[in-house]
Chain A
Amino acid sequence: MALDKQTVHDIARLARLHIDDAETEKYQSALSNILSLVEQMETCDTTDIEPMTHPFDATLRLRADEVTETNNRDKYQTVAPDTQDGLYLVPKVID
């Protein structure tokens, strides 16, 4: 399956990536090749097959509703690019 340039840019935008015009063809061709590989899936009829979401079909564990984690905010924020008063700083979103 061949993706057109616009689709490559649309996917990039969904993924919050920017693909330069100069690079578009390279990505277009690589992604199309990968999708051609993926399309081999269609050779197999999977009607009535239950999707397998995990290697074993176990249900997720439940635990008692108790506080188990302590507050590590200050420690975890030491690796953040920009913080103030315990908050993560980002560019202004609302005027």
Chain B
Amino acid sequence: MTITTLSELAQQLSSGKQSSVELTQDYLNRIEESKHNAFISIDPEKSITAAKKADERRATGDTAPLLGVPIAQKDIFCIEGTLTTCGSKILENFVAPYTATVVQKMHDAGIVSLGKTNMDEFAMGSSNETSYYGSVSNPWGSQEQPLVPGGSSGGSAAAVAAQLAPAATGTDTGGSIRQPAAFCGLTGLKPSYGRCSRYGMIAFASSLDQAGPMTHTAEDAALLLNTMVGFDSRDSTSLELPAEDFTHNIDNSLEGLRIGLPKEFFSDGLDSEIAELIENAVRTYETLGATIKEVSLPNTHLALPSYYVIAPAEASSNLSRFDGVRYGYRAEEYSDLVDMYTKTRTEGFGEEVKRRIMIGAYALSSGYYDAYYSKAQKLRRLISDDFTRVFENCDVLMGPTTPTTAFAQGSRTDDPVSMYLNDIYTIPVNLAGLPAISIQAGLTQQNLPIGLHIISPYLQEAKLLNVAHKFQQVTDWHQKTPTISAEKGDK
């Protein structure tokens, strides 16, 4: 099995070798035959209608770069007339009455949506195991040893790795694009906070949430990002920036690139095999003309504690809208209004979501605000200042995306804190609002992918994609695919 990239598909479509309808039908067949549980819902009729429209646009001379290319959408994005569950029972019957700006932009660019991918409930999780719709099989695992795909964008990652879609959207609040990309051998980009509109993207932690592409290559990520970004008056934190083509400088030389290796990203808890593979990747960058130096982000150890105040606090506030009044699930029997709220939420939310809502409610409750939320926001500034300081002498930072490779299903569900440790390298980036990318940078002896995490200063996605692309030009890790048994969905 070889990977199929968006740029290859775009070429096939523009040369007339294949129509969007044929291509879309091909992927829909694969989805129906697969057993990864990567999708929560598909709507073949709607996808084919969109593909037909793309073919018609092409017939009239439209040459939009991704016209007619099908991709999968994380089920956190509202799409009008489409079931949008966010991985939760509480939205089991929610057919969105409007479309997320990011998805609308992709549709306007002629991209066809293949279906809605599985995810941790309300994006709270790192293994896709908190989904009400069941866990997802990592295509790199086996029947004997089922592995998690990572999370929360686990369905998107599994779909792309199993070639059920050539690319997918994800969202990243604490690592939810980059960690599953690392676990499934993909390229996953979290853009700067404010790049992609959050309108129509079901909110988890509003000051951290950001949408981004999950693809096989950096080039594909650039192509997809081109269609996702842009100012949106409906998102109060959307940035007004000049238009940018993220593919434009992707092939620039890396001669003189200054790479910083934060020593905190290589400390205790990092799997030694991953450490070695990351060192190899860094050496590849040296051969491309980069200079390497060790740097320090001294407040890194405070990122996880502050994140687990800020994210749950914002979540408890955001999720108060699920009350059984305006949309979604409502409990069948109740005695009064408060009882209806309580039963609806108790029956509608899963355990991890309840834990986080409760932590958030506690941290925001009277008398605790300063000790928790305000304190966490002060630490957030220190963490952000660390990055500002190291970027005075570095162009990008590198390290591992995750401390371990994909782990066995069910192995960490009993201990929330051990699950949270998955995101120790990715969370500081969200707190600081920076862009970062994970690219596949090697395989362990157990044939499992590992991710190289690259972080840049604010709004330098083009630089990140350039740095990732050059690596993929001289290595073939991104082309590695899981074994055939996974391809057949034999899991």
Contact = CB atoms under 8 A, between A and B. Distances in A.
Contacts of B380: 51-52
A53 B338 contact: no
A16 B345 contact: yes
A22 B66 CA distance: 53
Contact of A88 (B325, B339, B360): B325
Interface residues of A, number: 51
Interface in B130-179: none
A80 B344 CA distance: 14
B392 interface: no
B239 to A, nearest CB: 8
Contacts of B379: 41, 44, 46
Interface residues on B, range: 35 or more
Interface in A36-53: 36-44, 46, 49-53
Interface in A18-72: 18-19, 27, 30-31, 33-44, 46, 49-56, 58, 60-61, 63, 68, 72
Contacts of B324: 81
A40 B301 contact: yes
A80 B327 contact: yes
Contacts of B431: 55
A31 B357 CA distance: 11
A54 B417 contact: no
- Lowest 8 CB-CB distances: which A-B pairs, in order? A55-B433, A51-B377, A52-B381, A46-B378, A81-B330, A55-B193, A49-B378, A15-B361
Given A39-B305, A44-B299, A91-B337, 9 more contacts: A11-B361, A19-B354, A30-B355, A31-B358, A34-B355, A35-B362, A52-B381, A56-B433, A78-B97
Interface of B: 93-95, 97-98, 192-194, 207-208, 233, 236-237, 299, 301-302, 304-306, 308-309, 316, 320, 323-330, 334-343, 345-346, 349, 354-355, 357-363, 365, 372, 374-382, 384, 415-417, 420, 431-434, 458
